[in-house]
């Protein structure tokens, strides 16, 4: 059983396109995240949702729009893709704040390549 | 805002030798500290965490870390490494409330046979 799953694993697309990445967790957690890992392996949080409510929104271009239809899902939609969006995107989840119960637990990642 | 410094970007070590990966954080308030491992082309796996209590934390795969408040450090150690420990290791810190988990830039551990 995969705890945090993402689809697709690889995504190759052209500049200007719109794409979505889906994330699901079966851990029963109430908090989900999107992280971006750049080519130098640096990890930075993009968004955090708690019980479907947005609680962290870092300085991310508004071309990125997260959507949480329920506690177990957090999708990421990206409009008008740019070359600089090429990265690995990780979904993660935790039960509350990481300082309370530990975590978060990460999915396998989606490698996005924009050409 | 909190920040994390991983002092070594790469650490080569021979198999069965001990290793220490260094992590320092900057915060004047209570923190929660984590170490993650990322194997090639995989996601991040939680190795261990310090939330409270004993400053020596034991994790998976024989790793341990010690929280040192006076030195604001959370170094990761393993007494004897294996080839399979070759991976990228990330230290991370968060505060309470809605503060996000902030990661260091990672340390590439290469175990040499």
CATH of the domain at B100: 2.60.40.10
Burial class (CB in 10 A: 0-12, 13-18, 19+), A47: buried
| Nearest CB partner across the interface for A105, out of B38, B46, B103 | B46
For residue B33, give the chain A residue with the closest CA.
A99
Burial letters B7-36, b for 16+ CB under 10 A, else e: eeeebebeeeeebebbbbbebeeebbbbbb
Instruction: Give residue A67's domain range.
Output: 4-114
Integer Cα distance of B57 and B112 in angstroms: 26
Q: What are the DSSP E strand ranges found in A1-115?
A: 4-7, 10-13, 19-25, 31-37, 43-50, 53-57, 64-70, 73-78, 87-94, 105-106, 110-114
Number of domains forming the structure of chain A: 1
- Looking at CA atoms only, how far is residue B93 from chain A in angstroms? 9
Mean pLDDT, chain B, rounded, equals 93
Tokens of B65: 């870390």
Instruction: Give residue B102's domain range.
Output: 3-112
The 10s digit of each residue's pLDDT in A32-62 is 999 999 999 999 999 999 888 888 888 889 9
Integer Cα distance of B42 and A27 in angstroms: 19
Return the closest-CA partner of residue B107 out of B34, B43, B17, B23.
B23
Q: Mean pLDDT throughout B82-87?
A: 97
Q: How confident is the model at residue B67 (pLDDT cuts 50, 70, 90)?
A: very high
Contact B94 A98 (CB under 8 A): yes
| Nearest CB partner across the interface for A43, out of B90, B94, B97 | B90
The 10s digit of each residue's pLDDT in B25-59 is 987 678 899 999 999 888 999 999 998 889 999 99
Residues listed for chain A: 115
For residue A43, give the chain B residue with the closest CA.
B103
CATH of the domain at A71: 2.60.40.10
Q: List CB contacts (< 8 A) between A40 and chain B.
A: 105
Contact (CB, 8 A) for B36 and B101:
no
Q: How confident is the model at residue A1 (pLDDT cuts 50, 70, 90)?
A: low
Tokens of A46: 């993009």
Tokens of A71: 């506690």
Which residues are CB-contacts of A31 (< 8 A; sequence separation ≥ 6)? A48, A49, A50, A51, A55, A93, A94, A95, A96, A97, A104
Mean pLDDT, chain A, rounded, equals 92
| Nearest CB partner across the interface for B101, out of A4, A41, A104 | A104
Q: Which residues lie across from A57 on neighbouring strands?
A: A47
Q: List CB contacts (< 8 A) between A92 and chain B.
A: 44
Q: Is B98 a residue whose pLDDT tops 80?
A: no
């Amino acid at each position: 059983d995969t705890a945090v799953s993402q689809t697709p694993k690889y995504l190759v697309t052209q500049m200007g396109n719109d794409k979505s990445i889906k994330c699901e967790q079966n851990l029963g957690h109430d908090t989900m995240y999107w992280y971006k890992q750049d080519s130098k392996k640096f990890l930075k949080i993009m968004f955090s949702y708690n019980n479907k409510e947005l609680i962290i929104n870092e300085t991310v271009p508004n071309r990125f729009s997260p959507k949480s239809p329920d506690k177990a899902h957090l999708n990421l939609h990206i409009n008008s893709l740019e070359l600089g969006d090429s990265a690995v995107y990780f979904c993660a989840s935790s039960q509350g704040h990481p300082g309370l119960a530990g975590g978060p637990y990460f999915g396998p990642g989606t490698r996005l390549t924009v050409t | 805002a909190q920040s994390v410094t991983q002092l070594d970007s790469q650490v080569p070590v021979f198999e069965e030798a001990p290793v220490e990966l260094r992590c320092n954080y900057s915060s004047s308030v209570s923190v929660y500290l984590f170490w993650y491992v990322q194997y090639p082309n995989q996601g991040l796996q939680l190795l261990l965490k310090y939330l409270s209590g004993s400053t020596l934390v034991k994790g998976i795969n024989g790793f341990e870390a010690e929280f040192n408040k006076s030195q604001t450090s959370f170094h990761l150690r393993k007494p004897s490494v294996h080839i399979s420990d070759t991976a990228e290791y990330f230290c991370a810190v968060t505060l309470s409330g809605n503060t996000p988990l902030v990661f260091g830039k990672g340390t590439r551990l290469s175990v040499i046979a």
